[in-house]
Amino acid sequence: MGCMYNWMYAGLFVFVMFAWPLFLFETITPVFVMLIFPLNTIIAVNTWYQCTSPEISFFRGLSAISASQMSGCANITLLYLPFVLIGVYIISIYYSTLGMLYDRKISQGRFMRLVLWFIDA
């Protein structure tokens, strides 16, 4: 019952990746949130598309990175894993930008190398 699986961390992060602008309703006027939300969705979907390859999907890569960062204690893992996944997402946005400018295979290869770096580290 208390076990957290790798895909749960990745799934929770994907939810936050798409939905974080909705948490701004309390602090920013809804008009700005409705402007930020579609822009964020476009960036997230593009990053997902650009970094997904036939060998590994974006979600599977996040799951593999989550698995490689397990500490053995869910409470400890929850302290640092979100920051690791945010860093991976920011790097992936950079890779997807390169994929749009040059070729999608560049972003796919770089994301795969990033995932392999986490697995091998």
Query: pLDDT at position 73, please?
Result: 75
Asked if 100 and 46 count as a contact pair (C-beta separation under 8 A), the reply is yes
Give Cα 85 distance to the centre of its chain.
6
Q: Which portions of the chain are predicted below pLDDT 70?
A: 1-4, 74, 121
Model pTM? 0.87
Cα–Cα distance between 57 and 73 in angstroms, integer?
A: 27
Region label for 110, one of left (φ > 0), alpha (ψ between -120 and 50) or beta (otherwise): alpha
Cα–Cα distance between 104 and 75 in angstroms, integer?
A: 37
